[in-house]
Amino acid sequence: MKALIGVMVLALAVPVAAQDKSKKDDKKPAPAAAAASPDQLMRDAEQKAAAGDKDGAVELLRRAVAMPTATGEPAMRLGRLLEGKYEFDAAIDAYKVAGEKLTGAAKGEALGRMAILQQLRGMPEAAATTQAATAADPQGVWPAIAQARQLAREGKGDEAIVMAQKVASTGGPAASSALGYAQEAKGDLAAAETSYRTAINDPEQKAIASVGLARVLRKTGRAGEAEPILKKAIEDAPGAVEAYKESARVKIALGRASEAVGDAATAAALAEGDAEAQKLVQEVGVAQALSYLATNQPDLAIQDLTKLRDQHDSPEVRVGLARAYVTKRQADPAIVELKKAVELDPANADAQYQLGYVQHMLKRDAAAAIPAYEKAVAADPGNVEYRTQYGAALAAANQSDKAVQELGKVTASPGYNKADAWIYLGQANLVGKKYKDAIAALDKAGTLAPNNVQIETFLAWSYFGLKDSKNFTDHARKARTLGQKDPTLLGYLDRVEKGEPIK
């Protein structure tokens, strides 16, 4: 009996021991899963991005980039994803890593994309990055886009257009945006606006194209339309220095210089190495001083600007001071300041323009104004105000054909809705004895500025040239009613009213 019990105890003990061993085995940690490869992480990131989880995709790509075995491809994908999220600084870092690891066309793309973002961020090293991209892939799309933008940035509009057009059919929205920048540099603002609008809906190009479009709108007198575009661009891309710069300039154009201070300061802080951003801070200071002119306090403007000039002499300050003198009709001190501004910076378009303006409008010497106006237009070909006054001076100096050519560019610019260029175009055609063309331009001016003595006077003389007594009389009478005192015009009116035919 005892033997049987022993056998049973032994039999029961075996399963219990086995169970204990099984439990111990269960407690052992499972073998570690094999580490994901960079390729696997890229595939997973692609799936997350497709599902809308961009943050998750970024995290996976960062892990892939950090792996010792990673090529430059994960960094390239990371840069593009970050660029689409408007995280430009992080995207620049990613493209830099990609450029260090990749070769050939891929390297050219990474560095080309990097250069474009550096331009948007106002980084001076953008030019060197563009050169490196071109060296890596001389015929590549992205190096060409970066190069086109760099050429435009340097004011070489024609060369920039040629470069951008080479990749227009293969570069997509980025090429359209670069073409817009090139066209803007050349002064073809209508074409630039079209190119920017073509690119603006692309996620990667939205910020860049928005700034370009806003700049064109400001230059064509539509700063009010530009402001909401820039506000959205800054919300989407808080690191876009160019957006802050343009926002400041738009606010200055809208007469709100005090509101431009913050944008200018932000641009300068974000891009410490960008001389243009630093100069913009001073431009805003000048605009603030000039705001006194709107309240008829030119002496206060002169006082503040004189202090600015003595603290930090620059073309911008001297131009501002000259404008204050112009308000007081003090041509001679204005010319002194403007000549010094031109001496400091011969390429300063505003200084050249203001110098021409003083000669033209205060000194009444159109011929003397033409060289300065011409330099202003050459330095900033897209500025419709500069070109309008240039055309007016040409017309006043009896250079009809050239005046018609220049003023025609103004009236053809997108959104142009001022009477000025149409009036001067009418004057230019009148000088050239193209009376019907003059009447067409002046009629257009009349729809924009009714009851204008200058328009009625030029219309009267145009109909006089056509020997149209009735219309001459109608417009000469209206000019007289509006205050015209020219004895020659009124003398002919008196004779025609008495029945004398126009010969």
Fold match flag (40-209 vs 210-295):
yes
Q: What DSSP element (H or E) covers 269?
A: helix 257-270
* Tens of pLDDT, residue by residue, the chain (503 residues): 444 334 333 343 444 444 444 444 454 554 444 458 999 999 999 999 899 899 999 999 999 999 999 999 999 999 999 988 888 889 999 999 999 999 999 999 999 999 999 988 878 899 999 999 999 999 999 999 999 999 998 889 999 999 999 998 898 999 999 999 999 998 888 899 999 999 998 888 898 999 999 999 998 889 999 999 999 999 988 878 889 999 999 999 999 999 999 999 998 888 777 778 888 888 899 999 999 998 999 999 999 999 999 988 899 999 999 999 999 999 999 999 999 999 999 999 999 999 999 999 999 999 999 999 999 999 988 889 999 999 999 999 999 999 999 999 999 987 788 999 999 999 999 999 999 999 999 999 999 999 999 999 999 999 999 999 999 999 999 999 999 999 999 999 999 999 999 98
**The residue count for the chain:** 503
For residue 87, what are the CA distances in angstroms to 84, 90, 307, 398?
A: 8, 6, 41, 55
Q: What DSSP element (H or E) covers 369?
A: helix 366-379
| DSSP letters spanning 98-121 | HHHH--HHHHHHHHHHHHHHHHHT
For residue 196, what are the CA distances in angstroms to 25, 162, 175?
A: 67, 17, 10
How far is the first Cα of the chain from the last one, in angstroms, to the nearest whole number? 155
**CATH architecture for segment(s) 40-209:** Alpha Horseshoe (1.25)
Return the pLDDT at 35.
Answer: 56
| CA nearest neighbour of 251 among 223, 231, 278 | 223
Cβ contacts of 294 within 8 Å, gap of 6 or more: 255
CA distance 89 to 5: 81
- Enumerate the domain spans of the chain: 40-209, 210-295
CA distance 433 to 430: 5
Phi, psi of 191 (to 5 degrees): -65, -40
Return the pLDDT at 36.
Answer: 81
Alpha carbon of residue 48 to chain centroid: 35
Return the pLDDT at 272.
Answer: 72
3-state secondary structure 212-251: HHHHHHHHCCCHHHHHHHHHHHHHHCCCCHHHHHHHHHHH
Return the pLDDT at 34.
Answer: 47
- Looking at 102-222, list the stretches that DSSP marks H as alpha helix, in order from N- to C-terminal side: 104-120, 126-136, 141-153, 157-166, 172-186, 189-199, 206-219
CATH code given to domain 210-295: 1.25.40.10
Return the pLDDT at 276.
Answer: 81
Task: Read off the DSSP letter of residue 361.
Answer: I
Return the pLDDT at 32.
Answer: 42
